Homo-oligomer: A and B are copies of this chain.
Amino acid sequence: MTAALDDLRSVFAELTSLHGWAPLQTPRSLLLALTGRVGAVASLVQWDAETGPDAVTPELRDELADCLVYLVALSDTLGLNVVDDAVTRIRGAVETSRA
């Protein structure tokens, strides 16, 4: 599979609709959810050596996936196109570095 973010948006909208979760998904709540998943990633690598982690566990993969889910949902809720914004931002940094 090579999914695009729109596939993620589509299936997340389906899950949200099935459970009636839309009213819960305010920006601040989605941000707390993102914070929670980033924290879970941190807890999985907190005692690793600086070269770690040695292996990517399913739990680590799942938590990073959840980070993306909430980051995209949060950005969408705010009316942003986070991928465009990120490309624009990094492209600007490249141009500044070259100038």
Interface residues of A (CB under 8 A from B): 1-5, 7-8, 11-12, 14-15, 18-19, 24, 26-29, 31-43, 45-53, 56, 60-62, 64-69, 71, 74-75, 78-91, 93-94, 97-98
Contact = CB atoms under 8 A, between A and B. Distances in A.
Given A32-B42, A41-B31, A46-B33, A75 B86 contact: no
Give me the 7 closest cross-chain CB pairs, A-B, nearest first. Answer: A39-B39, A36-B43, A50-B50, A65-B85, A32-B46, A35-B42, A65-B86
Given A64-B85, A83-B5, A12 B90 contact: yes
- The binding surface of chain A is classed by DSSP as helix
A40 B41 contact: no
Copies of this protein chain in the complex: 4
Given A36-B42, A38-B38, A68-B71, A87 B29 contact: no
B26 A33 contact: no
Given A33-B43, A43-B36, A80-B64, A8 B86 contact: yes
